[in-house]
Structure 1
Amino acid sequence: MSSTSTTTNLLEGKKLLVTGVLMDSSIAFHVARLAQEQGAEVVLTSFGRTMRITQTIAKRLPSTPPVVELDVTNDEHLDTLAERLGEHVPHLDGVLHSIGYAPPGAFEFMSGTWEDVATALHTSAYSLKGLAQASLPLMSRGGSLVGLTFDASFAWPVYDWMGVAKAAFEATNRYLARDLGRGHGVRCNLVAAGPIRTTAAKSIPGFEAFENTWDQRAPLGWDVDDPEPAALACVALLSDLFPATTAEIVHVDGGVHAMGQ
């Protein structure tokens, strides 16, 4: 892991909801870790069979946070989220969306079925709106919604319908920024991270195509085993350092997004 130093107590007193902590290799885990180190109180989410895994991994954080059940495709979970979170925190200052899933068939563009595509879009794009709406009752003081994306400006090898879902995810963020800014004071931004060797990444057929070439193309280089740079960007966006920034995509990819082939 990188040993980047950060401003002390950047998130002092803030209450954050962090989704997507499954293993300690995940970007979300390092967001939660850095947030706690910067003074935030963190609540995690998980659901189903992964609840026990998340609860175990949570013990590796500086302070073991509560884990609330949340399947972002389950309306009942979303409808009751604010009430259940209220048992742990009085309000929310920030939310991290680190959720994505597509069935194996979605990674074959021409043969992907609507059922596969609909699952990818629901879980990986529409869920940003669902999570934002479910969290909003606890964000009366404003705050920051941050999501993790993989640059949807290109047709990437092997990414296929997940790439389309990420394009929808990025569009969803822009509309949320429009609707949650004035009147709610909620900033909505994304971090476009380069490829990180996580559990989710390993489930993508042909992911090694990204791993093998990204470092060569990145002006700053790229370490697929280091999620901390992307996590640091998320923490910065969750803080008060960007009070007038919304609808933005911050690239943390070593610079690949700006390079030609």
Structure 2
Amino acid sequence: MSGLLAGKRLLVTGVITDASIAFSTAKLAQESGATVILTGYGRLSLVERIAKRLPQPAPIIELDVTSPDHLAGLPDKVREHTDGLDGVVHSIGFAPQSVLGGEFLNAQWDDVATALHVSTYSYKSLATACLPLMQPGGSIVGLTFDATKAWPVYDWMGVAKAGLESASRYLALHLGKQGIRSNLVSAGPLRTMAAKSIPGFEQFEDAWVERAPLGWDLDDKEPAAKAVCALLSDWFPATTGEIVHVDGGYHALGA
């Protein structure tokens, strides 16, 4: 991967633990020549501690993607570290427990709205907040979990991911004239903190490992991170509105 992202300036959200796709992406990006800026929200001391495990120091900006003030101030915060951005990684998702784990029919709108705000609308919010920093050739990449199907226990997060996938297509439409791409990586199930927060998520694991044509390692975040880095690079200059599946081929199977 050496040199793939040489000279690129990237904003990476969602680094909470070193088991996250975002952390693997930030690590690979640095190793590939990029300058990386991280964002965090809430437990910033945890993000700071995890960031020290990266190959190079990375500044951290506090960002609540549901806060208009944080979003409005983001460009100035980024300019304290670099004069622009070439890529943005959206690795943000949250849903209250009440809308997961088989509670689809019982979920209340206020909790569903939180899931949609944080996990779906924030993709557009982050992109538009970063637009003043981006030039033609820029790339926005988000992370999804195949929303073409209904998954047990995923419930309203699945709906939120479906919205995310649609939002990415609309961003591709509206940002294309500015030469900015929007794509998603659809990873198979991985043992991240986000996955562990979903009751019953482990029931995906055995089936994926057994059935994925290429096999599937539940602990290996690097394949998904490599796909994110590839989409951030200049190697996909005419690709936008796409969803790249990094799931061992599971999505291609029927029964």
By the TM > 0.5 criterion, same fold? yes
Partner of 1:139: 134
Query: Residues of 2 paired with 1:140 and 1:82: CA distance?
Result: 14
Choose the corresponding residue for 1:191, options 185, 198, 203. 185
- TM-score when scaled to structure 2? 0.98
Structure 1 residue 141, shift from structure 2 partner? 3.9
Give the 5 Å matches for 1:46-195: 46-48=40-42, 50-107=43-100, 108-182=103-177, 184-195=178-189
Query: Residues of 2 paired with 1:46 and 1:69: CA distance?
Result: 5
Aligned partner of residue 105 in structure 2, secondary structure: coil
Aligned partner of residue 83 in structure 1, secondary structure: helix
| Unmatched segments (≥5 aa) in structure 1 | 1-5
Q: Number of matched residues?
A: 253
CA contact (8 A) 2:124 2:171 kept: yes
- The one-letter code of the counterpart of 2:93 is G
- TM-score when scaled to structure 1? 0.96
- The one-letter code of the counterpart of 1:187 is R
Query: Residues of 2 paired with 1:140 and 1:203: CA distance?
Result: 37
Structure 1 residue 64, shift from structure 2 partner? 1.4
Structure 1 residue 102, shift from structure 2 partner? 0.1
Partner of 1:3: none
| Unmatched segments (≥5 aa) in structure 2 | none
Query: Residues of 2 paired with 1:57 and 1:141: CA distance?
Result: 32
Query: Residues of 1 paired with 2:106 and 2:62: CA distance?
Result: 34
Structure 1 residue 142, shift from structure 2 partner? 3.6
Could you list the structure 1 runs, at least 4 aligned residues long, displaced by more than 6 angstroms after superposition. none
Structure 1 residue 47, shift from structure 2 partner? 1.5
- The one-letter code of the counterpart of 1:52 is S
> How high is the sequence identity, in percent, across the aligned residues?
64
